[in-house]
């Protein structure tokens, strides 16, 4: 790229090329340049220093760079739907969910959250843009879905590189880059401690001041070669006996609100809690429910332990039952995280790279939210269409459900029941309403 203010010529033979090049095509001597606006001149090797500092050349080049960048971005966006694997997975929701864990609309919503950094990354790559589906690089959308595919199924980089006809080094760099982008764009949007925690109502907690639930989960790692590392990473609850440990906190709406950094498997739960910064948010009105591994903190509510030679009282047993029932929310979340193979199988990354492991866990926690949480506006739910509180209808409950589902399956290809809530709450959406998450519908 050369400014129109700069003229090129050969000082040896006088040849004046029409374009910028390093050597003269006639005598093979190094070319010299002259900036007509500033009057400066020099050999080819000094041109870039002049170009970046010349008040006449720089604005012109910046405008040209911006124009080229816009053209690249348009070409990349046009390539999104033509290049595989997105060109194949986007055809049906079933295929998209199978590979990424999200349907097509949810992937597009997720893409909109991190579109700008993905497009900027691709635009600055030194690659030749074509309309071919067999290019040696991936478009922004394909970078995203390949990373989702990797996190969901944890295929080896060698396998991914062979499937996409990319080098293994390119796949490694691509995955690391997109995880960084997701961590900077998606994770802060979906995972955060509510600012009004003390005043918010607790819908299902034992007490109103019980606001959060905390627990740790583990990522299995191979047995370290070093004896000191084996001792540091040892954890008996993992099949490999060695693990990384991370702490997760959620509220009583089953929303993850905090994810700690990764630690070695032998680190005690209460140590992670104290170092995580979560205790900065607790007080008399905001208390945390935890298991017996968190005994010892003032605002952490744990089950009562049986003292030596004494049984628990009925009151203590009822208290423990309430606490353990409340902890079901965090247990369900930990189970949901394990649907991502990168957290449920043996981790193949560097076990000492805690920064990378932490980013992966935090990104997966953000991605494992209910899919509708990707939207800031939510879903249109009206009230349950079946009166579960009517005692006279209880004997007919399951017959009603059987008839309802048979009718639904007769007229629909797919019927979705939302996890364990399918038999507790059932919603309908009027045909003429728009589907927007968590936005209530007025009227009956």
pLDDT confidence of residue 443: 39
Q: What is the mean pLDDT of residues 314-325?
A: 86
Whether the full predicted model's pTM is greater than 0.85, yes or no, is no
Using CA atoms, how far residue 156 sits from 83, 219, 349, in Å, is 21, 17, 11
Q: How confident is the model at residue 347 (pLDDT cuts 50, 70, 90)?
A: very high
Q: What is the mean pLDDT of residues 251-258?
A: 86
Q: How confident is the model at residue 35 (pLDDT cuts 50, 70, 90)?
A: confident
Round the average pLDDT of the chain to a whole number and report it.
Answer: 78
Q: How far apart are CA 255 and CA 120, in angstroms?
A: 31
Task: Please check the confidence at residue 66 and state whether its pLDDT lies above 50.
Answer: yes
Tell me the CB-side half-sphere exposure of residue 96, using CA atoms within 13 A: 17
pLDDT confidence of residue 307: 80
Residue with token string 């095509």? 25
Q: 172 with 105: CB under 8 angstroms?
A: no
pLDDT confidence of residue 387: 54
What per-residue string of b and e applies to 188-212 under the rule 16 or more CB within 10 Å gives b?
eebbebeeebeebebeebbeebbbb
Task: Please check the confidence at residue 304 and state whether its pLDDT lies above 80.
Answer: yes
Residue with token string 């498997």? 265
pLDDT confidence of residue 255: 86
Q: What do you get for the CA distance between the two ends of the chain, in Å?
A: 65
Q: How far apart are CA 100 and CA 153, in angstroms?
A: 8
**Alpha helices, DSSP H, located in 338-394:** 341-344, 354-367
pLDDT confidence of residue 3: 58
The 10s digit of each residue's pLDDT in 357-404 is: 999 999 999 998 744 554 444 444 443 445 555 556 555 666 777 787
Highest mean pLDDT among 47-51, 233-237, 261-265, 428-432: 261-265
Residue 60 dihedral angles phi and psi, to the nearest 5°: -65, -45
pLDDT confidence of residue 130: 37
Using alpha carbons, select from 258, 262, 257 the residue that is nearest to residue 272.
262
pLDDT confidence of residue 4: 60
> What is the percent of the chain with per-residue pLDDT over 70, rounded to a whole number?
71
CA angle 199, 196, 216 (to 5 degrees): 100
Peptide bond into 245 cis (omega under 30): no
Q: What is the mean pLDDT of residues 312-324?
A: 86
Task: Please check the confidence at residue 251 and state whether its pLDDT lies above 60.
Answer: yes
Task: Please check the confidence at residue 444 and state whether its pLDDT lies above 50.
Answer: no
Q: What is the mean pLDDT of residues 40-65?
A: 65
Position with higher pLDDT, 59 vs 356: 356
pLDDT confidence of residue 361: 97
pLDDT confidence of residue 434: 54
Highest mean pLDDT among 83-92, 149-158, 163-172, 372-381: 149-158
DSSP string across 40-82:
-EEEGGGHHHHHHH-TTHHHHHHHHHHHHHHHHHHHHHHHTTT
pLDDT confidence of residue 74: 67
Q: How far apart are CA 317 and CA 20, in angstroms?
A: 84
pLDDT confidence of residue 376: 44
Torsion angle, alpha carbons of 156, 162, 167, 171, to 10: -40
Task: Please check the confidence at residue 344 and state whether its pLDDT lies above 90.
Answer: yes
């Amino acid at each position: 790229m050369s400014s129109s203010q700069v003229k090129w010529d050969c000082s040896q033979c006088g040849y004046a090329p029409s374009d910028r090049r390093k050597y003269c095509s006639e005598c093979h001597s190094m070319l010299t340049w002259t900036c007509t606006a500033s009057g400066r001149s020099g050999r080819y090797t000094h041109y870039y220093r002049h170009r970046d500092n010349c008040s006449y050349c720089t604005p012109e080049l910046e405008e040209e760079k911006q124009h080229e960048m816009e053209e690249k971005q348009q070409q990349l966006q046009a390539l999104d739907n033509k290049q595989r694997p997105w060109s194949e997975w986007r055809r049906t929701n079933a295929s998209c969910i199978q590979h990424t864990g999200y349907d097509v609309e949810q992937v597009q919503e997720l893409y909109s959250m991190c579109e700008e950094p993905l497009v900027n990354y691709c635009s600055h790559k030194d690659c030749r843009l074509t309309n071919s589906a067999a290019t040696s690089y991936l478009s922004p959308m394909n970078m995203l879905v390949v990373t989702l595919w990797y996190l969901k199924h944890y295929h080896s980089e060698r396998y991914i590189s062979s499937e996409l006809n990319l080098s293994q080094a390119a796949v490694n760099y691509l995955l690391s880059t997109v995880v960084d982008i997701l961590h900077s764009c998606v994770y802060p949007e979906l995972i955060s401690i509510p600012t009004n925690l003390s005043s918010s109502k607790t819908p299902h907690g034992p007490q109103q001041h019980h606001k959060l639930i905390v627990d740790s989960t583990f990522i299995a790692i191979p047995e370290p070669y070093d004896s000191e590392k084996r001792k540091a990473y040892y954890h008996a609850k993992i099949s490999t006996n060695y693990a990384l440990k991370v702490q997760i906190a959620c509220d009583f709406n089953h929303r993850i609100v905090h994810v700690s950094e990764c630690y070695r498997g032998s680190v005690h739960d209460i140590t992670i809690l104290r170092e995580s910064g979560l205790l900065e948010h607790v007080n008399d009105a905001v208390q945390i429910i935890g298991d017996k591994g968190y005994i010892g903190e003032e605002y952490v509510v744990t089950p009562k332990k049986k003292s030596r030679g004494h049984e628990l009282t009925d009151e203590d047993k009822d208290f423990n039952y309430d606490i353990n029932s409340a902890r079901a929310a965090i247990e369900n979340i930990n189970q949901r995280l394990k649907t991502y193979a990168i957290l449920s199988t043996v981790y193949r990354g560097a076990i000492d790279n805690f920064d990378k492991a932490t980013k992966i866990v935090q990104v997966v926690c953000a991605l494992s939210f209910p899919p509708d949480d990707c939207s800031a506006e939510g879903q249109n739910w009206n009230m349950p269409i079946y009166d579960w509180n009517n005692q006279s209808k209880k004997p007919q409950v399951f017959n009603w459900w059987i008839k309802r589902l048979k009718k639904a399956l007769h007229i629909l290809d797919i019927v979705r029941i939302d996890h364990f809530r399918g038999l507790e709450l059932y919603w309908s959406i009027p045909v003429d309403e728009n589907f927007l998450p968590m936005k209530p519908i007025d009227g009956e």
